[in-house]
Amino acid sequence: MRMILVGPPGAGKGTQAARLVETFKIPHISSGDMLRAAVKEGTPLGLEADRFMKAGQLVPDEVVIGMILERIKKVDCAKGFMLDGFPRTRPQAEALDKAMKEAGVALDSVVVIDVPDALLEERAVGRRTDPVTGTIYHLKYNPPPAEVADRLVHRKDDTSEAVTTRIQKYHSETAPIVPFYEQQKILKRVDGVGNPDEITKRLVAALS
């Protein structure tokens, strides 16, 4: 199962990604984690990326794509992988597609978790994180136990204004990758409204 998981901020991608990689026994390749690992390992591409990051610049797409191709050739990706956090734009999707075809690797599915904007905002604004365990709660949908409530953190990017900005950015920059993969007949849309278990069942059914 070689796949990309896409969804707007607050769609529950993190929760569902963890469940899907467990279900399909594939590695979760986060572009951010991959960059940090390559820099730490001192690979040629990692060193190149590090130069850009130290200069406060974005790592060029071709460097990120090179790292992705290196990563998916590793033994643990033999049965597939889940790519998360890249591509974020249509040009990135097109460049990744070209590079993967040249490398003889084809995606099986690109899954989009669909959630209405109003619900995304409600989900994000009510989200709280436990800094000790890393557990994420929601004041309405997944209330924290009383003994941890006082230490929970409300992230700065989970305010109404910040969430609205992130949703707008998703629609303008990331959503255009959807028709690109739709044309290739590998796009699967999954309703992201409901409890996490229901959504997981829908995702597994769409991918099976």
Catalytic residue ranges: 13, 88, 127, 155, 166
Q: What SS3 class is residue 2?
A: strand
What contacts 12, CB < 8 A, 6 or more positions away?
A: 113, 115, 123, 192, 196, 199
Distance from C-alpha of 187 to C-alpha of 184, rounded to nearest angstrom: 8
7 exposed, middle or buried (CB, 10 Å; 0-12, 13-18, 19+)?
A: buried
CA distance linking residue 40 with residue 144, whole number of Å: 35
Distance, in Å, from the CA atom of 47 to the CA atom of 66, rounded to the nearest integer, reads: 13
Give, for 81, the enclosing helix (H) or strand (E): strand 81-84
